[in-house]
């Protein structure tokens, strides 16, 4: 396993596996005009309930570029900020902003309740033990404080796939939802929430908003990465690194997003939509970036298995459509060196030829948005699980 990350890497903690399939990859950064103290509470469905030993890891950096990079760019370090307090708790079965009475367990860092975070720093928490009934949400709450104006905390700005709440001030120890308001496009959470679990294999899913699950229903976990995890079962770990508006060239830069991707036994790469779209990359440029990413992951761990997916259809036209067809034809016929298997996600999502560059209308989030919906998530997961288990 790669040990390039601080403290031996995320999967350097071999006894731990990802407790959730929710992606908390960062694609934006807070940039406040004055110092602030704010509390964030997020509800996660966990892979398993019961007696959990949890350990959190965080990377204080932006993973992928948002829009044209005017506000946040891939590999941009976060600013200096501090954790005033953090807790894990039983979030109950209704994520309403409160937590079960008496269930909050402090999360500490080197034995201390508070921690100052340096720009670009990566760090682990101590272990925290929590009793979480099956079917209940894990609630993670932390109060974050900045000492100065300017860029500070990286976060994910896409539409919320989970229930989250935020409040002005230091309310991390509050059990009630008083003072909290429902968060919108504001997922502020650790990069990785691990639980003590020996698994057969640790998978990393590296992609953009389509892997993240953007535009599917909140708290329903109907996107394909979540459905695949459910189908494989908890004996397979899955760390979702999908990041809205992310592109292959963000990963190829060699920053924190690539370092995260190096941590799996098996890595599924589903990138290219944003490279061809907002990134305006050519087919050759995208294929070169994918080749570089694969080589870097293999260099870090020659035993890792790489699954490369075709680029999903996104209703491209003209030159972009031609590039999309070239990239997918190459991936299917002559994939980059180091690829162990190819999964054809486009075949599942596309309209029949000659309109295969378009996503099936029944799979669109709405009549104008080609992001896959929950029905598409079901179709992709079923196709993937059948293909994955076949060994082809």
* Max CA distance (Å), the chain: 61
pLDDT band at 352 (very low <50, low <70, confident <90, very high): very high
In the chain, helix, strand, coil percent, each to 5?
25, 30, 50
Q: Would you call 14 exposed, middle or buried from its count of C-beta atoms within 10 A (0-12, 13-18, 19+)? A: exposed
For residue range 314-325, list pLDDT tens digits in order. 999 999 999 999
Checking if the pLDDT of 40 tops 90, the result is yes
Q: Would you call 134 exposed, middle or buried from its count of C-beta atoms within 10 A (0-12, 13-18, 19+)? A: exposed
Query: Which of 14-18, 27-31, 103-107, 228-232 shows the lowest mean pLDDT across its residues?
Result: 14-18
Q: Would you call 282 exposed, middle or buried from its count of C-beta atoms within 10 A (0-12, 13-18, 19+)? A: middle
Kindly calculate the radius of gyration of the chain based on its CA atoms and give it in whole angstroms.
20
- The alpha-helical segments, DSSP class H, found in 121-196 are none
State the pLDDT at residue 9. Answer: 63
Contacts of 231 (CB under 8 A, 6+ apart): 381, 382, 385
Q: Which helix (H) or strand (E) holds 226?
A: helix 224-232
The whole-angstrom separation of Cα 242 and Cα 200 is: 22
Checking if the pLDDT of 4 tops 60, the result is no
pLDDT above 90 covers a percentage of the chain that reads 96
pTM: 0.96
8 Å CB contact between 23 and 243: yes
Cβ density class 231-265: b for 16+ within 10 Å, e for less: bbebebbbbbbbbbbbbbbbbbbebbbbbbbbbbb
Mean pLDDT of the chain: 96
Name all domains of the chain by residue range, CATH numbers in brackets: 16-192 (no CATH), 199-390 (3.40.50.1110)
8 Å CB contact between 116 and 42: no
Checking if the pLDDT of 12 tops 90, the result is no
What are the residues facing 89 on neighbouring strands?
A: 139
How far the first Cα of the chain sits from its last, in Å, is 25
For residue range 279-306, list pLDDT tens digits in order. 999 999 999 999 999 999 999 999 999 9
């Amino acid at each position: 396993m790669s040990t390039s990350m601080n403290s031996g890497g995320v999967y350097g903690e071999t006894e731990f596996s990802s407790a959730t399939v929710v992606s908390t990859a960062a694609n934006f950064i807070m940039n406040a005009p004055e110092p602030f103290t704010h509390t964030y509470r997020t509800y996660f469905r966990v892979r398993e309930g019961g007696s959990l030993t949890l350990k959190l890891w965080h990377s204080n950096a932006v993973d992928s570029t948002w829009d044209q990079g005017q506000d946040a760019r891939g590999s941009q370090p976060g600013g200096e900020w501090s954790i005033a307090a953090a807790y894990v708790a039983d979030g109950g079965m209704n994520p309403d902003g409160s937590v079960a009475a008496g269930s909050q367990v402090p999360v500490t860092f080197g034995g201390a309740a508070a921690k100052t975070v340096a720009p670009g720093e990566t760090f682990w928490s101590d272990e925290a033990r929590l009793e979480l009934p099956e079917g209940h949400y894990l609630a993670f709450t932390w109060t974050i404080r900045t000492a100065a104006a300017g860029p500070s905390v990286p976060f994910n700005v896409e539409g919320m796939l989970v229930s989250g709440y935020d409040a002005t001030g230091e309310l991390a120890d509050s059990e009630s939802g008083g003072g909290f308001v429902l968060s919108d496009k504001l997922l502020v959470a650790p990069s990785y929430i691990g639980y003590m679990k020996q698994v057969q294999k640790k998978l990393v899913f590296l992609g953009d908003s389509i892997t993240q699950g953007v535009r599917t229903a909140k708290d329903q976990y109907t996107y394909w990465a979540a459905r695949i995890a459910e189908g494989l079962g908890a004996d397979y770990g899955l760390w979702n690194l999908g990041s809205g508006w992310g592109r292959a060239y963000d990963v190829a830069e060699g920053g924190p997003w690539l370092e995260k991707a190096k941590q799996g036994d098996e890595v599924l790469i589903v990138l290219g939509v944003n490279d061809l779209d907002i990134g305006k990359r050519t087919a050759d440029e995208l294929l070169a970036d994918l080749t570089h990413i694969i080589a870097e992951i293999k260099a870090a761990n020659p035993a890792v298995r790489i699954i490369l997916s075709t680029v999903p259809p996104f209703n491209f036209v003209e030159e972009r459509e031609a590039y999309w067809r070239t990239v997918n034809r190459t991936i299917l016929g002559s994939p980059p060196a180091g690829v162990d298997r190819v999964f054809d996600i486009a075949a599942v999502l596309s309209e029949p030829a000659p309109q295969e560059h378009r996503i099936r209308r029944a799979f669109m989030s709405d009549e104008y948005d080609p992001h896959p919906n929950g029905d598409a998530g079901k179709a992709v997961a079923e196709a993937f699980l059948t293909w994955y288990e076949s060994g082809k």
